[in-house]
Structure 1
Amino acid sequence: MKLDQDFWSDKYQSNELGWDLGGVSPPLKAYVDQIDHKDISILIPGAGNAYEAAYLWEQGFRNVNVLDIAEEPLKNLKKRVPDFPDHQMHREDFFAHQGSYDLILEQTFFCALDPSLRVDYIDKMKSLLTLNGKLVGLLFDFRLDDVGPPFGGSEDAYTIDFKKRFQLNTIAPCYNSIKPRQGKELFIIFEKTN
């Protein structure tokens, strides 16, 4: 199975959106609500319908960028938030994206990538973050297997992979996951320190 633009477009067109919460993820909302500086640059890769981006926009964050390989979710965001700037909506492959961000929000993107791309993902995240920039979000905490997406993983594996490139400020079971994901998510705050 090739997890490319056609794969994800087909998911949106057939309304097979099992990952879509229909609103802001509670853990990410709680994190965003404590951010004081609304001028920081933010990227949400694999943004899907980008409920977090819409929420950030409503809260006064104006330097929010969304990225998705499929066109449909970006159109859905534009319908819901007509004044969201077109130049901050990127329809492209994450690994080709260029930019510099203070914060990157992770919400079901890592688990949607083929596990063979995990080291590339980590390297790319580091390259997109400013010094002391943060990768914040959720990673699934269930056995990694060959069937997916979503692909799982474990705290131990994430720690081994990410600590080579990031300072791991937080990696812990998520206390405020939605009910179907309770006990299956880890909340992360990883910082680029060099």
Structure 2
Amino acid sequence: MESANKNNGDVNVVDHMNQHWESMRQFLHSQTTGGWQKCWEEDRTPWDLGHVTPVIQHLVQTDALPKGRILIPGCGRGYDVIAMASSQRNVVGLDLSEAAITKAKKLAASSANANSTTFIVDDFFTWQPNEPFELIFYYTFFCAIDPKTRPAWASRMAELLKPDGELLILMFPISDHVCGPPYKVSVSDYEEVLAPFGFKAISITENEHAIEFRKGYEKLGRWKRTSN
């Protein structure tokens, strides 16, 4: 596993996460059901950047994303859904939280590409779309689910992507912390669960566009589904 390093000013990203996420963790662990929904209802959402993910903005501006149908599970307020949507890209934002999707729909209503966005309240692990996708983008979703469910996550990727479809992942937090969510991740964590379903990494790079305190703890991975 990749070791955690220090960011600018010797501020450790794990300490930063713990400071900003601990109250949310306590809140989640205190709920018997509907914890994520209540986080959105009460604005306990430290994972929400409040704007488009910078690397997504960069990929859109440089025309480095495939055309067609795109899925963003755990889309939250939908910033990235709206940013990716165009006349050539229909983007579906999926989230378990009705409160999050309500916020996303309100935000998208004023977008020039609103007709190319769809927001759905459903469970990623059971939702059945009408057709598969050319691209799926993940950010703070894999790190939010129980690590024991990661093989099931990979299985869903194979079901939801078209043959030769692409999985675009911002891997965060790459660290050695023990608490969660967010649970620690590593490149090998992804490869271990994706490889059995025919996924092959085509590039894994440092995310040069990461927000300041996440720099050095985040990689951008692109996988192709090479077999059924």
TM-score, normalised by the number of residues in structure 1: 0.88
TM-fit CA distance, 1:137:
2.3
Superposed, 1:1-194 pairs within 5 Å as 1=29, 6-35=34-63, 39-57=67-85, 59-82=86-109, 84=114, 88-99=118-129, 100-140=132-172, 141-143=174-176, 145=178, 147-165=179-197, 166-194=199-227
CA contact (8 A) 1:27 1:174 kept: yes
TM-fit CA distance, 1:30:
2.0
Distance 2:81 2:224 in 1: 21
Quote the RMSD (CA, aligned, Å).
2.4
TM-fit CA distance, 1:76:
0.8
Q: Which 5+ residue runs of structure 1 have no aligned equivalent? A: none
CA contact (8 A) 1:132 1:193 kept: yes
Shift of the 86–135 alpha-carbon distance from structure 1 to 2, 3 Å rule, reads closer
Shift of the 38–161 alpha-carbon distance from structure 1 to 2, 3 Å rule, reads closer
Shift of the 6–85 alpha-carbon distance from structure 1 to 2, 3 Å rule, reads farther
Secondary structure in 2 matching 1:8 = helix
* Partner AA of 1:72 in structure 2: A
Shift of the 88–188 alpha-carbon distance from structure 1 to 2, 3 Å rule, reads same
* Partner AA of 2:121 in structure 1: R
Secondary structure in 2 matching 1:73 = helix
Distance 1:174 1:79 in 2: 30
Tell me the matched-pair count.
192
CA contact (8 A) 1:162 1:168 kept: no
CA contact (8 A) 2:133 2:165 kept: yes
What are the Cα deviations for residues 70-124 of structure 1, in whole angstroms up to 9, with x where unaligned? 0111111111122745992211100112230000011111111111111100110
Distance 1:34 1:73 in 2: 29
Shift of the 48–2 alpha-carbon distance from structure 1 to 2, 3 Å rule, reads farther
TM-score, normalised by the number of residues in structure 2: 0.76
Secondary structure in 2 matching 1:67 = strand
Structure whose alpha-carbon radius of gyration is higher: 2
Distance 1:184 1:2 in 2: 29
